[in-house]
Structure 1
Amino acid sequence: MSGRFSRRRLLAGAATAAGVAAAASACGSGGGNTTLTIMGNHPSEITDSDVAGFSKKYPNVKIKFVTNSVQLLTAMFAAGDPPDIIRDQGVQNTPYLVKRDLAEDLAPYFARSTVLTDDKIAAVDDVWRYDGSVQGKGPRYGLAKDYSQDAMLWCNLRVFEKAGVEPPDPTKPMSYEEMLDVAKRITRRKGAQYSAYGLYPPFDVSLSAGVINMVTSAGGSVFNDDYTKVDFSAPEAKSALQWYLDYADAQVGPTVARPLAAGAAAAFFADQLGMVGYGYWFGGEVASNPQVQDHVRFVTAPQFGSTRTSPCFAAVGHWIPKTSQHKQEAWNFFEWYFGEQPAIDRAKSGWGLPGITAMNADLPEVKPYQKQALDVQNAEFSHMSVLKYSPYVAFTALDASLSQAFVKGLESGLSAGRLADLVNDTLNPLLEQGKELVA
């Protein structure tokens, strides 16, 4: 897998785990009077060209990269010398970071900026806002470098053609039951040997995000009103868990207990996977695999309940710690990376939607599959929704708890109700501890 693809698997929950320092890898951009330390993905996301452009504009600032590691970050904070810029996921982590007083309030910087003004910033960037109670309101604490509506699907038309099944309508959402039925009809296997899987559902970026999206669509919430408890035994949540059990029982695709060894992308590009639950960003992978470009289709997100939802699961971007010693230099890099040439270059690559709305005009549409995907995406914008996470527990704990419960449930044949009890029993003590820590 490429660095661009693997970035979606990296756990960006910085400052969410205890640990000791890990070894740091560093590389720089030449001399300078100030060293700006960035914990981010170099060179796959922050490229050498990005660094060179910034160094030309700010020759007195040297950039140093350190390994993107939760353990290292925890140790750097403990030592009182955190990085100046940190990669993270805005959807899941903004409330968590703000409640712990870790992130710098960037509202004064945005107010002074002529590059990153409110009229230029995409609506998705509101996930990086938090007023202490509600995500999407209050000061900005970070910005998304790019994003996708991650419950959308890419279809391999060759798999559908071989099965004699009509592919989904690109703009009419399937129900999750319809999606599972289609997956059953296009799966090809003899015993345990698959020649084609039907579905890799939209849970890869974050298992908890996939489930929370389904629950929200059904009109429920996994959290109580103040986000201090979860209840996966509520009807909407238990229905979502039951769907996953039904999906696993149908044996139409990989599960947390039975993953694909080579990954979903490899199977998709080898015409061995019919539907994969990735957002617009996956078009960047398609661009690198010309053998599949003439038989792919991008389609709208499936719908679980009565409400049509199509959220962003991550909104990966960066934030500046409150204890950074070089906040102005960090902000200068923010403006360069998020609002100038690097952002234009990312938009042109097709590796996600830009955080600056004007740069939507730079998204690729030369090839037929690019134009088709962009047309579907443009229609999908109006269905953007925001997932709600608790500030009292790291999303990595949510994902781990759900994953462990699903593995145990699938291996032991547990019911959805028993799965819900397992998740509740694991997460509610963690939420209680988290609430006490920030009280």
Structure 2
Amino acid sequence: MSVPTTGSLDRRRFLTYSGVALGATALSGCAASVGGSGSSGGGKKTLTVMTVADEWDKKTKAQIEQLFNVHLSVITYDIAKLNAMLASKNPPDVVRSTGATQTPYFAARGLMTDLDPYFAKSSVLKASDLDPVNDVWRYDGEKQGAGPRYGLAKDYSQDAMLWYRTDMFDAANVDLPSDTKPLSYDELLDLGKKLVKRRLGKVKVYGLNATGMGVFAQLTGMTASAGGSVFSDDLTTVDFSSPEALKALGWYLEYAKADIGPNVVNPNPDGWDGPTYQANRMAMSSNGYWFGGVIGGDAKLSKVSRFAPAPQLGSHRVSPCFGATGFWIPKDAKNKDTAWKLFEWYFAGDPAKARASSGWGIPSLTSLRSQMPQGTAFQKQAFEVQHRETPYFSVLPFSPYAQVDALDAVLSKVLPDAVKSGTSAGKVADELNSRMNDQLAKGKELVG
């Protein structure tokens, strides 16, 4: 599953994944609030991992401690706490993050360990076996996708792809999307309008959620498919006034105004798509392959659910990943060699094999891709659509000068009033440019 580690929406996704897909049990003892790494009272080294609270159940935690002869201390992920620990040079040994949006930010500040020497020596993890998605964990000082490897994805999805309910399409007498030809965003919006159901003026069944992984991420993908980029070449500014980005922004404003799905004015009370889709209250969900893990456990739901390619705003076909969630090792970590051993076990050992066969994400290693589930008609259809979509993956560079949470916060401040007042896309673009570029400029000053 490729999702970010911040925000209530994404945290719910993480908890669903940990609790349902791999059978982990949330235990309060797995989330001790301790600072830094070092030695435990019993003489063993303490390996500190900042991740979601129930990353590992009690049994797995004990297994890790036995395998690596350590005391394992798990700190619940919190970006403010992580920043403070990094600043004090007493960071965790391992950190869970989203490679797609966070790698440039931390790498540009010299906070991440270059893992290339570890890959060169490893007999378990080989760079030649890494899925191309792992390039989001690379940064050469100027751009993402090149240079040293700073982390590794545990699995991933191409997150602009679509899941949809055939029963709801049939009930609305609407043709099903193609398994091979992507919809245009205009076609997608039209479908959402046909599939939405209202009662007494309120949405009863969403026709579509167009931004399952967040608004800013979706806008970057839409702009790329139109042949442009939200960011300037040097990643120091955004420009929503460019023809491609303006087209993406205009589409989102129309989507939000139509009120056919969760949006900045009327967010989903469930917090994320899973419960809504399961409760028969969403016809289409913009989420990647990992969302099939939510669906696959329900035989009735999987029977009426199908997967489709990522829609396109223009003729430049792309199908990006907005997460690539995984681990990295801070430059000031005290137990790097042990942290790497955890990497080898987690990314290439039994945990990786279990994730590959669970249907909750595409394996990070190409050698494990054959273990993706295909035993049911639902799984086979999703696998085949995903297989055909793979060539359209590309790294969409993210700026090192701001965290995605901060840019999404700007959208959350600006867009609701714009939707309610009917402000033109051009004026909204100007305000977004002003606010975001101010943040990016301040971030650049700090990086130097």
Identify whether the pair has TM-score above 0.5, normalized to the shorter chain. yes
Among residues 46, 70, 91, which one is paired with 1:61 in the alignment?
A: 70
Kindly state the Cα deviation for residue 218 of structure 1 after the two structures are TM-superposed: 0.9
Aligned to 2:46: 35
Alignment: residue pair count: 423
Structure 2 gap segments, 5+ residues each: 1-8, 18-30
Aligned to 2:325: 316
TM-score (norm 2): 0.89
Instruction: Describe the superposition over 1:19-47 as per-residue Cα deviations: whole angstroms up to 9, x where unpaired.
Output: xxxx9546x9996611100001242x344
2:208 alignment partner, SS class: strand
Aligned to 1:51: 61
1:312 alignment partner, SS class: coil
Distance 1:57 1:225 in 2: 45
Among residues 202, 211, 225, which one is paired with 1:217 in the alignment?
A: 225
Kindly state the Cα deviation for residue 96 of structure 1 after the two structures are TM-superposed: 1.0
Aligned to 1:80: 89
1:336 aligned onto 2:319: no
Among residues 422, 426, 431, which one is paired with 2:435 in the alignment?
A: 426
Distance 2:309 2:301 in 1: 20
2:86 alignment partner, SS class: helix
List aligned pairs for 1:31-430, cutoff 5 A. 33-43=44-54, 45-58=55-68, 60-201=69-210, 203-262=211-270, 263-430=272-439
- Root-mean-square deviation (Å): 2.3
Distance 2:161 2:189 in 1: 15
Q: Is the 8 A contact 1:130 1:138 kept in 2?
A: yes
Distance 1:399 1:381 in 2: 27
Q: Is the 8 A contact 2:253 2:419 kept in 1?
A: yes
1:318 alignment partner, SS class: strand
Distance 2:328 2:14 in 1: 21
2:414 alignment partner, SS class: helix
Distance 1:111 1:139 in 2: 12
Instruction: Describe the superposition over 1:369-400 as per-residue Cα deviations: whole angstroms up to 9, x where unpaired.
Output: 11111111111111112112111111111111
Instruction: Describe the superposition over 1:111-159 as per-residue Cα deviations: whole angstroms up to 9, x where unpaired.
Output: 1011110121111001101111121111100000110000000001111
Give, as a single letter, the amino acid of the residue that structure 2 aligns with 1:38.
V
Kindly state the Cα deviation for residue 233 of structure 1 after the two structures are TM-superposed: 1.1
Distance 1:29 1:62 in 2: 7
Kindly state the Cα deviation for residue 266 of structure 1 after the two structures are TM-superposed: 2.0
Kindly state the Cα deviation for residue 8 of structure 1 after the two structures are TM-superposed: 9.4
Kindly state the Cα deviation for residue 84 of structure 1 after the two structures are TM-superposed: 0.5
Distance 2:59 2:318 in 1: 37
Kindly state the Cα deviation for residue 339 of structure 1 after the two structures are TM-superposed: 1.1
Distance 2:10 2:206 in 1: 22
Deviates more, 1:283-292 or 1:323-332: 283-292
Instruction: Describe the superposition over 1:312-344 as per-residue Cα deviations: whole angstroms up to 9, x where unpaired.
Output: 011011110000011111111111111111111
Q: Is the 8 A contact 1:30 1:62 kept in 2?
A: no
Deviates more, 1:221-230 or 1:318-327: 221-230
Q: Is the 8 A contact 2:223 2:229 kept in 1?
A: yes
Kindly state the Cα deviation for residue 219 of structure 1 after the two structures are TM-superposed: 1.2
Distance 1:167 1:400 in 2: 35
Provide closer, same or farther for how the CA distance between residues 342 and 52 of structure 1 changes in structure 2, counting only shifts above 3 A.
farther
Distance 1:327 1:204 in 2: 35
Distance 2:442 2:412 in 1: 21
Distance 1:246 1:97 in 2: 35
Kindly state the Cα deviation for residue 7 of structure 1 after the two structures are TM-superposed: 5.7
Provide closer, same or farther for how the CA distance between residues 377 and 324 of structure 1 changes in structure 2, counting only shifts above 3 A.
same
Give, as a single letter, the amino acid of the residue that structure 2 aligns with 1:171.
T
Kindly state the Cα deviation for residue 50 of structure 1 after the two structures are TM-superposed: 4.1
Deviates more, 1:47-56 or 1:422-431: 47-56
Distance 1:113 1:232 in 2: 44
Q: Is the 8 A contact 2:145 2:397 kept in 1?
A: no
Distance 2:11 2:303 in 1: 24
2:216 alignment partner, SS class: helix
Distance 1:84 1:73 in 2: 11
Provide closer, same or farther for how the CA distance between residues 274 and 113 of structure 1 changes in structure 2, counting only shifts above 3 A.
same
Q: Is the 8 A contact 1:82 1:323 kept in 2?
A: yes
Kindly state the Cα deviation for residue 251 of structure 1 after the two structures are TM-superposed: 2.4
Distance 2:190 2:240 in 1: 25
Aligned to 1:17: none
Distance 2:14 2:437 in 1: 31
Distance 2:147 2:16 in 1: 27
Deviates more, 1:230-239 or 1:263-272: 263-272
Distance 2:196 2:40 in 1: 50
Give, as a single letter, the amino acid of the residue that structure 1 aligns with 2:346.
Y
Q: Is the 8 A contact 1:212 1:222 kept in 2?
A: yes
